[in-house]
Amino acid sequence: MGTLRRVRAYAGQLGLLAALVVLTAFLASGLPRIANDRTDVGLRAEIGRLEPSQRDLTFALPGLDPLVRPPGDQSAKLDRVRQELPAPLPGLIEDGWFVAEAGPAGVAVGAADPGSCPPLAAVRRQTGSEQATRLVEGRAPQSREVPEAIAGRDEARALGVRVGDTLTMHSRWGTAQVSLVGVYEPVDPAAAFWADSKLTRVPCPSVDDGTRFRATLLTDRGGAELAALRTGELRERWRYRLDAQRLTADRIGDLTIAVAAARRYPPEFSTLLSSVDATLADFDERLRGVRALLAVVQAGLLATAAGLILLAARLGVDRRRNEYALIRARGGSVRAIGARALGETTLVVLPAAALGWLAGALTGGRPDAWEPLLAGAIVLLAVAAPAGYAAAGARHPDFTGHRRDLAADRPSPRRLTAELFVVALAAGGIYLVRRRGIDAGAGVDPYLVTAPVLLALAASLVALRVMPFPLARLGRLAARARGAVVFLGISGASRGAPLRSGPLAVLVVAIATGIFSSTVTTTVGHARDRAAELAIPADALVTGFLFAPDTAAEVAELDGVDAAVPVLALPATNIRGEDSPLIVQAQGLVADATAIPGMPEVLTSARPGGEQVPAVVSPMLAKRVGAGGTVEVQGRQYAFRVAAVQDTVPGLSTDVRDFVALPLQAMPIPDFQPIVPNRILLRGDAYDPRAVREVADAGQSRQAKDATGQDVEAYELAMPATLTTRAALRAELGKRGVDGVLGFTFSAGVAASAGLALLAVALTVLAGAPARGRTLSRLRTLGLSTRQGRRLLVFELVPLLGVAVLVGGLVGTALPVLIGSALGLSDFTAGLPAGISVDPLLAAGVLVVAALAVAAALVVEDIANRRLRLGTVLRLGEEQL
């Protein structure tokens, strides 16, 4: 009962400690949970974007050879193969299908001549077809002597067939007659069942023939076997769809190992076709960098919060030092005083820690592996710190009530040794981080994670030893000025609590963490801006298969379009070097360099004439082709010379490694064979996107007619025109994979650091409130006004804030330079080098936080003065909170 009464009596001090424990517990549990949730969302989105051939686990069986093909109906083994997969794959599979397919092969209706570019069709038997389809005409297949099949509405229209028609499949090995007996529509067109059988339009073998449809027809078991025997083609496979919603980032390692095991030991002569393990490995590699960054930010925030807990504990003990001294005078032991404080804080800290942890758990994210250890450390610190301070103070009780701020602050050899040890730890930690990285494959190293915090702490200790000298000089200058407020404020700062190690260290760590987060955010953002500008060196980009040469001019005439530049981007072009007979392939870019901003001067200054066209090539390609060579562009050979070597060029994305860029305005292009573009760069911001796409598709239709001699409708285009703005591409760069958690990490780091810095200033003011209260009481008898009293506090805090901002800013800005290579920032900059960038608005933000800190300090001071009742301080010497 005595403990409860004391808790009630000192509710203000213990409540402050409890509030800080709640905040720290939330930071330790909630921040990692939210980050884990965003990581899982990014992983699921990454897997969801994969093509079915990459995402699904497909076990392909050999063809018709009876010597290697397992006997019997392989669809019966679908569930057994799934259960035999290495863990945890069986529990992550959403659905599975067995597929037996003949084709795709060229088809013709009846006995018609298939021509040089007939449509392609495959006859497929797939488990689950009855549930996935709804017949709208005809009946289900019942193959006996002739393969029977059903087609979707779109497939039937694309192939030009109806119920009752006979399709002839022409393959390399034989011919099969297939009877169309029904037409269906999908029950759910977006279902995974249709992922690898959608109607598509593909190029013909000859570019002059344009494009053709590729369709899939559904049949039964007998139909698939008959079609396979007659065409000589059969592909059988078990296909399993991974459920992306069940994937979590903490299982990436186990899942990658399981897929690798399934690849080494596939079931029954099959071969695993999937690249999901490569995607997971790439995601895990980038996730390591995010974890390192998150660990650095979280370590800074938790270190700041822990420093605030220590300040609050020290504040509470200082308020009760007379009580503890009286207990010692009455015969109480140091152990008894420590136990007394331990019992009080335990009653307060444990519920507060539980409340903070519960608040973090309510965020709904996945708990972090370090969460129990961090929670235990927080509870231990909050419980033990007040007891430790109380016991330490009780060893040498103070009964005099003398002003301790008048004592010379001369550090002892033991203290200096400890400070030098911290400096050595910080230097060694930064060195190891640069050499090894924070996560060297064995998980995050606690010492290396805290190295940035140690660096900020070491910098604050150095500043603490250096700052008294300029402050003393400044105090002497202030003594010569009129008025005593400035002099008293600076003098109080130089000898009082504000510039002691605890408050200064907490502020430096908080500011360094915030500036580090802001600097890295700015660095990544500027690199992504540059990547978006390189990929789309205009306001928008129109992409298609091939546009007519005059399409760009027509687009430029639309309302809101300021200019339109045609561009030819070749995904692969043949290049032969002058000194090498070997043909190499690289991506090509052909455009009017004078119309694209950012193009190298060697391209923009190029003019017609000369035997060779100047070109900009990538470093790797330059090594392979030498000084020049020939490049094939749409069937013609053009001689070029290497005029410049660059890592990137406007018009190509930053992930392109081998490329050659040619200036269209300098190329000897014949009138009868103009360059046909497949991209159009737009400048303007008030155009109608639909109108742009319609004009672009009309240009594609004209080009297709010129190539094939046949009218091509817009829906028949191989690649309908798409319009992508540079702003949309920039936004997409920030949403890929782990980038979502990266943005959250640094936003949370900046916001939490600012909040914790304000709390540190408030606690510093609260700690010095009794001493300032006595000073104000004395000065008011000499005529000091309330306004001058507030100015006194401001001048007392200015050195603390100035030193903290200066030192914390230097550390926060230097950290990306010191450990940026270990953090792997280049993984988040769209392939561009991660040069360190500092946001000019950062200085304004720091000044705003400093101004808020001063305002908060004034509010706290007013509250503390009202509690102190300044009129009675001189008479009674009270130091109440």
DSSP 206-248: SGGG-EEEEEEEEE-HHHHHHHHHHHT--EEEEEEEE-GGG--
Is the pLDDT confidence value at 72 over 60?
A: yes
Q: For residues 340 and 874, which has the higher predicted lDDT (pLDDT)? A: 340
Is the pLDDT confidence value at 498 over 50?
A: no
CA distances from 271 to 71, 243, 404 (A): 17, 21, 79
Q: List residues bridging with 632 in a β-sheet.
A: 637
- If asked whether residues 745 and 724 sit together in one domain, one would say no
- Decide if 346 is inside a domain: yes
- Domains identified in the chain, total number: 4
CA distances from 199 to 26, 206, 534 (A): 51, 21, 34
Q: What is the mean pLDDT of the chain?
A: 82
**Which of 136-145, 779-788, 840-849 shows the highest mean pLDDT?**
136-145
CA distances from 554 to 233, 462, 559, 634, 725 (A): 47, 68, 11, 23, 19
Q: What pTM was computed for the model?
A: 0.80
- If asked whether residues 606 and 719 sit together in one domain, one would say yes
CB atoms within 10 A of CB 234: 20
Q: Pick from 354, 345, 356: which is nearest to 382 by CA?
A: 345
User: Would you place residue 408 in the very low, low, confident or very high pLDDT band (cuts 50, 70, 90)?
Assistant: very low
- Decide if 611 is inside a domain: yes
Task: Render pLDDT for 222-249 as a digit per residue (tens, 0 to 9).
Answer: 999 899 888 888 889 999 999 988 988 8
Q: For residues 72 and 61, which has the higher predicted lDDT (pLDDT)? A: 61
- Residue 881: the pLDDT is 39
- Residue 454: the pLDDT is 92
Task: Name the residue with tokens 């136990």.
Answer: 339
- Residue 707: the pLDDT is 67
- If asked whether residues 214 and 242 sit together in one domain, one would say yes
User: Would you place residue 470 in the very low, low, confident or very high pLDDT band (cuts 50, 70, 90)?
Assistant: confident
Decide: 158 and 226 in contact? Cβ < 8 Å.
no
* Percentage of the chain lying above the pLDDT 90 cut: 22
- Residue 48: the pLDDT is 84
- Residue 479: the pLDDT is 65
Separation between Cα atoms, residue 445 and residue 430, nearest integer Å: 13
Separation between Cα atoms, residue 42 and residue 355, nearest integer Å: 29
Is the pLDDT confidence value at 486 over 80?
A: no
Decide: 633 and 570 in contact? Cβ < 8 Å.
yes
* Helix or strand (DSSP H, E) at 679: strand 679-683
- Residue 653: the pLDDT is 86
What's the whole-number mean pLDDT along residues 117-125? 90
Of 370, 401, 432, which residue sits at a domain end? 401
Of 331, 366, 401, which residue sits at a domain end? 401
Is the pLDDT confidence value at 131 over 70?
A: yes
- If asked whether residues 724 and 778 sit together in one domain, one would say no
**Under DSSP, is residue 614 helix (H, G, I), strand (E, B) or coil?**
strand
**Under DSSP, is residue 853 helix (H, G, I), strand (E, B) or coil?**
helix
- If asked whether residues 339 and 483 sit together in one domain, one would say no
In our burial notation (b when 16+ CB lie closer than 10 A, e otherwise), range 50-76 reads: bebeebbbbbbbeebeeeebeeeebbe
- Decide if 58 is inside a domain: no
- If asked whether residues 673 and 578 sit together in one domain, one would say yes
- Residue 427: the pLDDT is 92
* Helix or strand (DSSP H, E) at 464: helix 451-466
Give the single-character DSSP code of 69: S
The amino acid that residue 873 corresponds to is: V
CB atoms within 10 A of CB 706: 14
What's the whole-number mean pLDDT along residues 63-92? 81
Is the pLDDT confidence value at 96 over 90?
A: yes
Of 210, 227, 246, which residue sits at a domain end? 246
Preceding peptide of 663 cis, ω within 30°: no
* Close Cβ partners of 80 (under 8 Å, ≥ 6 residues apart): none
- Decide if 274 is inside a domain: no
- If asked whether residues 603 and 478 sit together in one domain, one would say no
Decide: 815 and 822 in contact? Cβ < 8 Å.
no
Decide: 567 and 590 in contact? Cβ < 8 Å.
yes
- If asked whether residues 589 and 526 sit together in one domain, one would say no
Encoded tokens for 879:
């130091």
- If asked whether residues 810 and 820 sit together in one domain, one would say yes
Distance of CA 303 to the CA centre of its chain: 24
Is the pLDDT confidence value at 355 over 90?
A: yes
- If asked whether residues 478 and 492 sit together in one domain, one would say yes
- Decide if 806 is inside a domain: yes
Q: List residues bridging with 569 in a β-sheet.
A: 589
Separation between Cα atoms, residue 746 and residue 311, nearest integer Å: 26
Separation between Cα atoms, residue 368 and residue 382, nearest integer Å: 22
- Decide if 388 is inside a domain: yes
Separation between Cα atoms, residue 448 and residue 296, nearest integer Å: 9
- If asked whether residues 147 and 241 sit together in one domain, one would say yes
- Residue 126: the pLDDT is 94
- Decide if 253 is inside a domain: no
**Which domain range does residue 382 map to?**
1-50+291-401
Encoded tokens for 811:
């550390």
- Residue 504: the pLDDT is 82
- Residue 181: the pLDDT is 94
- If asked whether residues 38 and 75 sit together in one domain, one would say no
- Decide if 255 is inside a domain: no
Q: For residues 199 and 3, which has the higher predicted lDDT (pLDDT)? A: 199
The amino acid that residue 730 corresponds to is: R
φ/ψ (deg, to 5) at 258: -65, -40
Q: What angle do CA 156, 161, 164 make, to 5 degrees?
A: 115
Encoded tokens for 702:
């004209």
